[in-house]
């Protein structure tokens, strides 16, 4: 007896924090909020993708030029699917926020499309197809946002090796997103082209302590090890009021924090919800006094990656 063909699904993919100070282009985690939502419906047009965007959206309407569209097309082509998909996008994670908006779109698209296939593809194939979409946004195939959005949890990845899921620390994370734009190209352009040997050695030591602390369940020590020795200091001037945010967050109980991805969002790691709420309140006051539009989120590390549910 053949299984009933799935005609429509709704998929969710989490926002992510990449780099985490010590893990530039290598380390990322998934957040419990916000999350991207996307609907996929089977079409009779073979290996074609049609997009339905929100009213007023400025995203590309051509599948080849749209992150979600390109990712879904890639999966349809690589699996030689005998159908196409209609994707309806709902952008809950604002583009340019620094918390993995493009990665969430790409991952949601491949997970939704995969749910329409008669057999679920491998995670490796889903990752590669999502990276085809992410590449449109960043010009590179870095996994630090895509991998945690797909796999969930805390993921160490690089371009030439396997994804390594690390034990998840028990953190409560405050994310502050000031409503300004920081272009990834500009954030890349300010990075140092050389790093002193001593700085490199110190950074490797902190990464080793972080990984060890994750495996031994030392949640505070893992947060304390997130020392940003060269990326953050080069980019901090691009983030409005970053120094003040850091002073406020640390004074109110955050163990550490930094710039999420290339910004403008910042993240602040606390050990309790009460501390996180105090940090969030302090940061919101700073933004309000500066008359700067912003969003804040209180989140844990999301151990569930993207998923799809059939719709009737």
pLDDT in tens, the chain (312 residues): 345 788 999 999 999 999 999 999 899 999 999 999 999 999 999 999 999 988 878 888 888 999 999 999 999 999 999 999 999 998 888 888 999 999 999 999 999 999 999 999 999 999 999 999 999 887 778 899 999 999 999 999 876 667 899 999 999 999 999 998 887 778 888 999 999 999 999 999 999 999 999 999 999 999 999 999 999 999 999 999 999 999 999 999 999 999 999 899 999 999 999 999 999 999 999 999 999 999 999 999 999 999 999 997
Cα dihedral: 137, 143, 149, 152 (round 10): -170
The answer to whether residues 270 and 155 belong to one domain is no
pLDDT at 59: 86
Judge whether 3 lies within some domain: no
What CATH number does the domain containing 33 carry? 3.30.230.10
CA separation for the pair 123, 129 (Å, rounded):
10
* Domain span holding position 218: 166-299
pLDDT at 160: 65
The answer to whether residues 284 and 199 belong to one domain is yes
The answer to whether residues 190 and 60 belong to one domain is no
The total of structural domains in the chain comes to 2
pTM higher than 0.85: yes
The answer to whether residues 21 and 103 belong to one domain is yes
SS3 content of the chain, % helix, strand, coil (to 5): 40, 25, 40
Cβ–Cβ < 8 Å for 67, 102: yes
Q: Is residue 9 classed as helix, strand or coil in its secondary structure?
A: strand
What CATH number does the domain containing 194 carry? 3.30.70.890
The answer to whether residues 115 and 161 belong to one domain is yes
């Amino acid at each position: 007896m053949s299984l009933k063909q799935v005609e429509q699904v709704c998929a969710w993919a989490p926002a992510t924090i990449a780099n985490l100070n010590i893990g530039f282009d290598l380390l990322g985690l998934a957040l419990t909020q916000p999350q991207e939502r996307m609907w996929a419906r089977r079409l009779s047009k073979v290996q074609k993708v049609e997009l339905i965007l929100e009213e007023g959206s400025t995203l590309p309407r051509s599948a080849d030029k749209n992150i979600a569209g390109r990712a879904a097309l890639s999966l349809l082509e690589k699996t030689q699917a005998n159908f196409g998909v209609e994707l309806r996008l709902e952008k809950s994670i604002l583009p340019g926020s620094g918390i993995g908006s493009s990665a969430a779109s790409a991952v949601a698209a491949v997970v939704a499309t995969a749910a329409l296939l008669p057999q679920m593809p491998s995670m490796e194939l889903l990752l590669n197809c999502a990276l085809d979409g992410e590449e449109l946004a960043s010009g590179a195939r870095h996994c630090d946002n895509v991998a945690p959005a797909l796999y969930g949890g805390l993921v160490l990845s690089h371009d030439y090796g396997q994804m390594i899921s690390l034990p998840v620390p028990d953190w409560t994370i405050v994310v502050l997103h000031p409503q300004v734009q920081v272009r990834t190209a500009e954030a890349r352009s300010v990075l140092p082209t050389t790093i002193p040997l001593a700085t490199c050695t110190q950074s490797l030591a902190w990464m080793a302590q972080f990984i060890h602390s994750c495996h031994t369940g030392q949640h505070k020590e893992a947060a304390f090890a997130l020392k940003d020795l060269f990326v953050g200091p080069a980019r901090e001037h691009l983030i409005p009021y970053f120094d003040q945010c850091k002073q406020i967050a640390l004074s109110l109980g955050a163990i550490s924090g930094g710039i999420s991805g290339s910004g403008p969002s910042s993240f602040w790691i606390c050990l309790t919800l009460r501390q996180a709420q105090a940090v969030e309140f302090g940061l919101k006051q700073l933004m309000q006094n500066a008359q700067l539009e912003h969003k804040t989120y209180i989140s844990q590390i999301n151990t569930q990656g993207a998923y799809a549910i059939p719709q009737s």
